[in-house]
Structure 1
Amino acid sequence: MKHSLLIFALACLGMQVQAQQVLCLDSCRAMALRNNKTLVASRLQLDMAQYNTKAAKTKYLPHISAVGGYELTSREISLLSKDQKKAISGAGTNVVGSMQSDISGALTGLAQQGVLTPDQAQSLGNMFGQVGSKIGEAVNHVGQSFVNALRTDTRQMYAISVMATQPIYMGGAITAANNMAKIGESMAANQIDATTQQTIHAIDQAYWTVVSVKHKKDLAESYLQVVKKLDDDVQKMIKEGVATRADGLKVAVRVNEAEMSLTQADNGLALAKMLLCQLCGMPAETEVTLADENTPNIATASTSESASADKAEAQDNRPEMKLLQNAVDLSRQATNLVRAAYLPQVLLTGGYMATNPNVYNGFERKLSGVWNVGVMVRVPLWNWMEGSYKVRAGRIATRIAEMEREDLGEKIDLQISQCQFKLKEANRRLVMAMKNVENADENLRCATVGFKEGVLQTTDVMAAQTAWMQAQSQKIDAEVDVRLSQVNLRKALGVLQ
């Protein structure tokens, strides 16, 4: 039975240990970089910029487009007027009628002259009438065929056109657009670097804050044990009549203060871990344990990192400087793009167009067309100096961007100097805090011994305990300050990874 209970207890303990995740600084950074939504959005912007670069390259290549259409109209296109159609279709009747009138008059004159008898003239007139009627009908048929041949039949029209265009010279617009796309891709990559460094900086601050609060919680627990031990000793001394009730009340007040400090440390640790979990992309209520929580010394004093800082290298490493350089380059290419709009442009065109009815073969009801090749040239002649004004405005914008980049460079130099001074100051504070801790330990030991020997009062011991508490707290603050100063300096140098 006892063995079963022991096994069950060990299993529960193993489950609790497994439930609590142990995280080091690198694992926190990795989770934050993997789950940070701003960083994910920056990566998507890089993908978008890469697609824009590919799209810009296609401007160098020929572009082919096709257009088709159908149109139904109430009337067709006519090459002849109504009077012309009537005259051509009745040409035989008109000509034969005129000839018959002339022949009848001539035969009547011959009959009057006695050359022909009236019967002969009538017989000849009837014969010419019959022949003229047939000739008129034949000519009318030919005229009507001619009118029908000139009919367009365009009430229903189909058309299709395939056109290819190849830029020959666009004033540098295509080159400028491609350069702008490449700069946009570089800006997206630099934005990822900037977001990465900001994320790592936030994680480092949250991580060392948790470590600091955890150490202060441990310190509060140690201080509570010390004051409880003093309270227990004072209570024994009160019973023996060596100490007064007032001494006991003073120590009791100090115990209450120590318990309140421990409660505040517990709450602060919980909130600090919730913030760290949120930055890592985990639920805020996740129980985590940091690898450096129980490390005796959070940091050691060192000046090598501050001495190795290179300001010139920082100018090349900082993503903010790279982004401003991208802005300068982008402004220059934008100026080139504006200038290209006011330069000559040459395009090579070619294609095929087909229609039904076929306008190239007497409006035949058949889809047919023609090939075409040409060159299109556009030359701006006069725009009242609009292009010159826009180019000058673009150059001014470029100069403004260059000034912003130079100003940021000066601020970066100043920031690096400030971080170097803060790191040196933090190292000095840590050295002094460690000496103060040694003195406070010795002071507390002497006060405790003196109190037990009856040489010192309760107030002397509490003062020594307070001094020891402050020295330990200052040491923790100094150690964390060194860590954060190192992180700030690396971020200022652009090497925070």
Structure 2
Amino acid sequence: MKMWITLAGLLIACALPAQEKLDLPKCRQMALENSKKLGIAGRQSAKATFDKKVYRANFFPKISGMGMYAYMQKDYSFTIDGGYLPTYVPDASGKLLPNLLLDAANRPVIGPDGNYVFRQYAFLPDINLSLGLDNAYTVGGVVEQPVYMGGKIRSAFRMASIGVEMAELNLKSVCAEVITETDEAYWQFLRLKELVVSAGKYKDVVAELVRSLTDAYQTGMASQNDLLKAQVKLNEAELLLQKAQNGEKLAEMNLCRVIGVDLGTLLQVKDSLYDGITPGVLSVDGSGVTARPEYGMLDRNIELKKNQTKLTRADFLPQLGISASYAWTDGISVNGEADGMASFMAMASLKVPVFHWGEGRNKTKAMKAEEEMSELQKEDMVRLMQLEEAKTRFNVEDAAARVRLTAKSLLQAKENLMVSKNRYEVGMESLTNYMEAQAQWQKAWSDWIDAKAELRVSETHYLRATGRLE
């Protein structure tokens, strides 16, 4: 029997949803670990780092290997025509002079074709050549080094470095966004949990009144009209409780989504909606919006535009590069004989733009205009961020004041409820007034819970607006 009880207990335990005990720091950590947005931002940061390494490689020489292979089935044959060649004889100084035929007057003889006639001719026979490419190949290496590219390499590398900085700032911004979403879901869940408690207490109070009126009606001490009024209020209280419970379940599922656990997980939180502003929230160290990652991204964007201007200008400046290569060639045969050959070659390349019909000047001016646009955009965005900072600070102050006032109203409503109940029990208060006191007490409690949740969320938004949401 005990074995079956144990087995049944295990089956019931396995059927229950998993439970998580959480507090706000743990929720934040889980949300950051499971955030897809943060994962994308992390990949972007890694990509920017690799891009920087790619552009850094342009400062160093590039070493390449090369090879070529050729095979021709038939040799290429051709003939260099021969013929008679004039002869030359040296004079007393050793200088070669044409060996011309002279007449009796010691003048060169001119032939029928109008050319000088030589005393002797050398005969050159025809030369037959055969060029073969049987398994011809070339192997070697090339070293290339840019010397001056108009600043293009330096500007591109600086832009890549700025890209890394912007990716890191974007990562911080996404972290703040994820933390804000987590805080909103967390405090909303706690808000609904407390609303369920208040709705349950309100239902209990109304249910007690209905039981009292039912007994009084059965003994003829209360009218049916009063009982029906109380029963209507009980129905409203039950509906209010059901809405609060459904809202709590949805808030719990939303928090599960944010922290990356199964939506059916039962969450147990350690915190509560406490009163008062968190110490140090409104203490600003003077940095203001400059501590926000968005502000840093605006700064980097201006610097990026400046380097884009330099990069555009570099296309229209002189460019100088050098290269050296060493190769071994073999397999080329002449008349069936082949001999390998090693060769070294060095080259320098200089490109100087001369006239492009104003293309370079106009492109540079266009990029300069974009640079000025980014500066104006920064000024506008900074004003918006300063406005957001002030707005969130006022929201925190208003929420703190609302917490104090709603807490005071709750005490007054609770006292009013006790007085109304005592007066109703001795017949000095009408049922309508008593039920109205109950409703006011429940509303004051709900307002107090809403105010506390709003204060916690307002604190998060203010910390994000001042760049202090870590």
Scaled by the length of structure 2, the TM-score of the pair is 0.85
Instruction: Give the distance between the partners of 2:374 and 2:306, measured in 1 at CA.
Output: 10
Q: Deviations over 1:318-351 (max 9, x none)?
A: 1111122221111111111111111111112101
Per-residue deviation, 1:357: 4.3
Cα 1:13–1:225, aligned 2, differ >3 Å: closer, same or farther?
farther
Unaligned runs of 5+ in 1: 89-138
Q: Percent identity over the alignment?
A: 29
Q: 1:308 aligns with which of 268, 283, 294?
A: 283
What is aligned with 1:467?
440
Q: 1:199 aligns with which of 172, 178, 181?
A: 178
Checking the alignment, whether the CA contact within 8 Å between 1:213 and 1:265 is kept in structure 2 is yes
The answer to whether structure 1 residue 331 and structure 2 residue 299 are counterparts is: no
Per-residue deviation, 1:179: 0.4
Matches within 5 A, 1:175-324: 175-292=154-271, 295=272, 298-302=273-277, 305=280, 307-309=282-284, 313-324=287-298
Unaligned runs of 5+ in 2: 85-121
Structure 1 counterpart SS, 2:284: coil
Structure 1 counterpart SS, 2:65: strand
Matches within 5 A, 1:50-449: 50-73=49-72, 76=75, 80-81=79-80, 84=81, 147=127, 150-154=129-133, 157-292=136-271, 295=272, 298-302=273-277, 305=280, 307-309=282-284, 313-357=287-331, 364-449=337-422
Instruction: Give the distance between the partners of 1:306 and 1:331, measured in 2 at CA.
Output: 36
Cα 1:6–1:77, aligned 2, differ >3 Å: closer, same or farther?
closer
Instruction: Give the distance between the partners of 2:168 and 2:50, measured in 1 at CA.
Output: 14
Instruction: Give the distance between the partners of 2:264 and 2:11, measured in 1 at CA.
Output: 20
Per-residue deviation, 1:307: 4.4
Checking the alignment, whether the CA contact within 8 Å between 1:349 and 1:373 is kept in structure 2 is yes
Per-residue deviation, 1:19: 3.8
Per-residue deviation, 1:15: 8.2
Per-residue deviation, 1:210: 0.4
Structure 2 counterpart SS, 1:65: strand
Give the structure with the higher percent strand: 2
Cα 1:192–1:391, aligned 2, differ >3 Å: closer, same or farther?
same
Instruction: Give the distance between the partners of 2:3 and 2:411, measured in 1 at CA.
Output: 49
Cα 1:4–1:72, aligned 2, differ >3 Å: closer, same or farther?
closer
Instruction: Give the distance between the partners of 1:79 and 1:47, measured in 2 at CA.
Output: 62
What is aligned with 1:488?
461
Cα 1:50–1:446, aligned 2, differ >3 Å: closer, same or farther?
same
Checking the alignment, whether the CA contact within 8 Å between 2:17 and 2:266 is kept in structure 1 is no
**Aligned partner letter, 2:151:** G
**Aligned partner letter, 1:203:** T
Structure 2 counterpart SS, 1:151: strand
Cα 1:304–1:282, aligned 2, differ >3 Å: closer, same or farther?
closer
Q: Higher Cα Rg: structure 1 or 2? A: 1
Per-residue deviation, 1:441: 0.7
Checking the alignment, whether the CA contact within 8 Å between 1:303 and 1:424 is kept in structure 2 is no
Cα 1:243–1:4, aligned 2, differ >3 Å: closer, same or farther?
farther
What is aligned with 1:26?
25
Q: Deviations over 1:289-323 (max 9, x none)?
A: 2222xx3xx1323396564235x513322111112
Checking the alignment, whether the CA contact within 8 Å between 2:420 and 2:434 is kept in structure 1 is yes
Per-residue deviation, 1:80: 3.4
Per-residue deviation, 1:369: 2.7
Per-residue deviation, 1:459: 1.2
Per-residue deviation, 1:476: 0.5
Instruction: Give the distance between the partners of 1:227 and 1:4, measured in 2 at CA.
Output: 46
Q: Deviations over 1:125-149 (max 9, x none)?
A: xxxxxxxxxxxxxx99x958xx35x
Per-residue deviation, 1:71: 3.1
**Aligned partner letter, 2:137:** Y
Instruction: Give the distance between the partners of 1:468 and 1:346, measured in 2 at CA.
Output: 84
Cα 1:4–1:156, aligned 2, differ >3 Å: closer, same or farther?
closer
Stretch of structure 1 that moved more, 59-68 or 11-20: 11-20
**Aligned partner letter, 1:64:** I
**Aligned partner letter, 2:444:** A
Instruction: Give the distance between the partners of 1:154 and 1:439, measured in 2 at CA.
Output: 108
Scaled by the length of structure 1, the TM-score of the pair is 0.80
Q: Deviations over 1:202-224 (max 9, x none)?
A: 00000000000110011111101
Cα 1:272–1:10, aligned 2, differ >3 Å: closer, same or farther?
same
Give the structure with the higher percent helix: 1
**Aligned partner letter, 1:63:** K
Structure 2 counterpart SS, 1:152: strand
Cα 1:453–1:339, aligned 2, differ >3 Å: closer, same or farther?
same
Checking the alignment, whether the CA contact within 8 Å between 1:45 and 1:188 is kept in structure 2 is yes
Instruction: Give the distance between the partners of 2:200 and 2:3, measured in 1 at CA.
Output: 34
Instruction: Give the distance between the partners of 1:12 and 1:468, measured in 2 at CA.
Output: 44
